[in-house]
Amino acid sequence: MAMSNVERIKKYREKIKKDKVKYEAVKAKDRIRFNSKKQKLTGASLAKFRIENKLRQQKYREHKKKRLVKKPPPDSFRNRQSFGKALKKTNSSLPKCDKKKVVIQHLAETYGLIPKSKHQCTTVQLADKLKNDVHNFYLRDDISYQLPGKKDTIVIKDDDGSRVTYQKQILFNNLRETYELFKEENDNVYISRSSFAELRPPFVIRKAALTHRNCLCLYPENICLLLKALDKYVAGKCCLSLETFTNSLVCSTNNEECMFSSCSLCEDFFIEKIQENVSDGNGKITWSQWIKENGHAEKKEFSGNVDEAFFLLKSKVEYFLFHVYIKREQSKYFEKLKTE
């Protein structure tokens, strides 16, 4: 069967394209013929030529776009059963932990497998009154004490740009115990421990920052040192901190009879909650104590078994509770005088 004109021209062009030199020569000759034809046109014939040329270019570009469109990749799975098995295997390998699920979700969003989430984080602002209450709580005499030295100062830049010099103050307790004291006095106020720590004034320094020069009262410090050594030998959390230890010994820290060891209900709390919960009384341990010699306090280490340390702790409990109650009542009275 004879070929049509379109088929012959197509075959001719494919043959010409194989020879690059001849193909470039044919294109140059065609450009000369096209330009000479265009120069001879005038008026309506020129306008018609331009319209036809424009339509031809549009048609060419549309065909070119269709050729450049990527064909979809062939399916990796031969049938639906193989795809189902692979899906089940992958699903069983996915993590069950919430943190790992967040990582998988982030990777899927990064590589465009799922659209990125538009969730915006919102933060809850603390009330100004609460911030002031926390600030004033840190400055109370029963929470922190002021260093007396001339060099114990710190310069802080205020919001208006002015610089103010403050005398350094040291916390009596660590941040966790200070936070528990604040919660105990403010039951109806909610604030997280991290927010409470962030609101600490810059000139109020943690106790651990100046351990080499702390001048604290010997009674609570010696109790605290014994609790650190005995904590792992006592079941429960009674010896976890000085505050929990004090609360576990009495019915109420605000009751004078309890703190003066005159209450019949809590007189045996030390034996019931602490001494009877000792796991290994014969275990060997070491503990530290502040000892006053020649007017100076020195920290010394002692060694012995657990029972010896507990008997030492028991001998200090009565005066310790008395001391804590007197100190707190004095601080309350001083705070009352400040407000009046």
Per-run averaged pLDDT (10 residues), the chain, 340 residues: 82 86 89 87 87 91 80 69 86 85 86 77 76 89 79 82 86 84 86 89 79 60 84 81 83 87 86 82 85 78 87 86 83 72
Q: Which long-range contacts (CB under 8 A, 24 or more apart) does 55-59 make?
A: none
- The answer to whether the CB of 232 falls within 8 A of the CB of 170 is no
Classified as helix, coil or strand, 258 is: helix
Residues 144, 206: Cα–Cα separation, whole Å? 9
Residues 323, 326: Cα–Cα separation, whole Å? 5
| 142 and 205, same domain (yes or no) | yes
Full-model pTM: 0.47
| 228 and 335, same domain (yes or no) | yes
Block residue for tokens 């306090």:
297
From 180, 210, 240, the end of a domain falls on 210
Residues 249, 40: Cα–Cα separation, whole Å? 115
- Nearest residue to 167 (alpha-carbon basis) of 184, 152, 183, 182: 152
Residues 138, 203: Cα–Cα separation, whole Å? 10
| 181 and 246, same domain (yes or no) | no
How many CB atoms are located within 10 Å of the residue 145 CB?
A: 15
Residues 242, 313: Cα–Cα separation, whole Å? 12
pLDDT value, residue 340: 66
| 145 and 204, same domain (yes or no) | yes
pLDDT value, residue 123: 64
| 183 and 140, same domain (yes or no) | yes
pLDDT value, residue 72: 59
Classified as helix, coil or strand, 64 is: helix
| 203 and 314, same domain (yes or no) | no
| 245 and 204, same domain (yes or no) | no
| 206 and 226, same domain (yes or no) | no
From 210, 244, 262, the end of a domain falls on 210
Q: Is residue 165 part of a domain?
A: yes
Structure tokens at 30: 């065609």
| 152 and 170, same domain (yes or no) | yes
The whole domain housing 282 covers 218-339
pLDDT value, residue 59: 92
Residues 82, 92: Cα–Cα separation, whole Å? 16
Ramachandran angles phi, psi of 120, nearest 5°: -110, 130
From 154, 187, 210, the end of a domain falls on 210
Order across the sheet with 144-146: list the strands: 144-146, 169-171, 204-205
| 203 and 235, same domain (yes or no) | no
pLDDT value, residue 215: 46
Question: How many domains does the chain contain in total?
Answer: 2
Ramachandran angles phi, psi of 115, nearest 5°: -65, 150
Q: Is residue 8 part of a domain?
A: no
| 246 and 222, same domain (yes or no) | yes
- The answer to whether the CB of 268 falls within 8 A of the CB of 294 is no
- Nearest residue to 135 (alpha-carbon basis) of 207, 191, 213, 54: 191
